[in-house]
């Protein structure tokens, strides 16, 4: 797939690199310095390049949204028309100081985003995973028992694409249902982060999520 990375920070850089190594064609965009995007593309290998958000939106069928919530308007404006694109969002609707969710209970960041880009297909995924664990999970992806990542969305084909990307990173993909389920997965992501960073187990806790069969 052709994947545009909107936000090349901790999440965007690691997921973009992982996708490029899994042989997707990746455009890294949206960082404060062009040199950083060039470096990421160089390190990710021949399937990656640096570009602008507009390049990413125009040339990719899938976009990974990985910006701080406060940067959402800016990145969407720079990306331009997202009609027909699948937008996989790991952006959580956090306040500027990251102390709380600014959307919760009756809606979610994913649903608010879907209203902002009505001609795109939004899938919410990856936000329950701290970026630190991504390379380790990717390296271990052939293990029989793999950690799970939940995702949700309203469009079946887009969800299949997101599930494939989740598997490419090394997780088992757990379909949590329609996009409104993000109302529950977004607070869950904060619980995971709290446990990962403030508990004793470290980020490993983040993916010790088991499905009861």
Ligand X SMILES: NC(=O)c1ccc[n+]([C@@H]2O[C@H](COP(=O)([O-])OP(=O)(O)OC[C@H]3O[C@@H](n4cnc5c(N)ncnc54)[C@H](OP(=O)(O)O)[C@@H]3O)[C@@H](O)[C@H]2O)c1
Give the integer Cα–Cα distance in Å for 132 and 202. Answer: 10
Mask 86-125, x = binds ligand X (CB under 6 A)?
Answer: ----xxx-x-------------------------------
36 binds ligand X (CB under 6 A): yes
5 binds ligand X (CB under 6 A): no
Among 22, 26, 27, 31, binds ligand X (CB under 6 A): 31
Q: Which is nearer to ligand X, 22 or 53 (CB)?
A: 53
Measured CA to CA in angstroms, residue 184 lies from 144, 163, 188, 190 at distances of: 28, 19, 6, 10
Q: Which residue has the tokens 């969710």?
A: 101
Q: Which is nearer to ligand X, 32 or 200 (CB)?
A: 32
What is the distance in angstroms between the CA of the first residue and the CA of the last residue of the chain? Answer: 32
- Contact between 152 and 90 (Cβ < 8 Å): no
71 binds ligand X (CB under 6 A): yes
Which residues, listed in sequence order, are joined to residue 27 by a DSSP beta bridge?
4, 49
Among 16, 130, 147, 153, binds ligand X (CB under 6 A): 130
Mask 181-210, x = binds ligand X (CB under 6 A)?
Answer: ------------------------------
What three-state secondary structure class fits 106?
coil
């Amino acid at each position: 797939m052709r994947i545009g990375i909107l936000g090349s920070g901790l999440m965007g850089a690691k997921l973009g690199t992982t996708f490029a190594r899994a042989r997707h064609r990746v455009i890294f965009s949206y960082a404060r310095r062009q040199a950083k995007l060039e470096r990421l593309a160089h390190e990710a290998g021949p399937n990656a390049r640096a570009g602008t958000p507009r390049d990413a939106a125009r040339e990719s069928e899938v976009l990974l949204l990985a910006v701080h919530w406060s940067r959402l308007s800016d990145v969407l404006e720079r990306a331009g028309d997202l009609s027909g694109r699948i937008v996989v969002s790991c952006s959580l609707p956090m306040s500027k100081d990251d102390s709380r969710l600014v959307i919760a209970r009756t809606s979610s960041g994913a649903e608010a985003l879907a209203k902002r880009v009505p001609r795109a297909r939004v899938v919410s995924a990856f936000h329950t995973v701290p970026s630190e664990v991504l390379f380790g999970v990717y390296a271990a992806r052939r293990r029989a028992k793999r950690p799970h990542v939940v995702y949700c969305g309203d469009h079946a084909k887009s969800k299949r694409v997101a599930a494939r990307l989740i598997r490419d990173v090394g997780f088992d993909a757990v379909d949590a249902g329609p996009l409104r389920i993000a109302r529950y997965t977004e607070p869950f992501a904060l619980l995971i982060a709290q446990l990962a960073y403030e508990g004793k187990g470290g980020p490993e806790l983040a993916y010790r999520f088991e499905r009861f069969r």
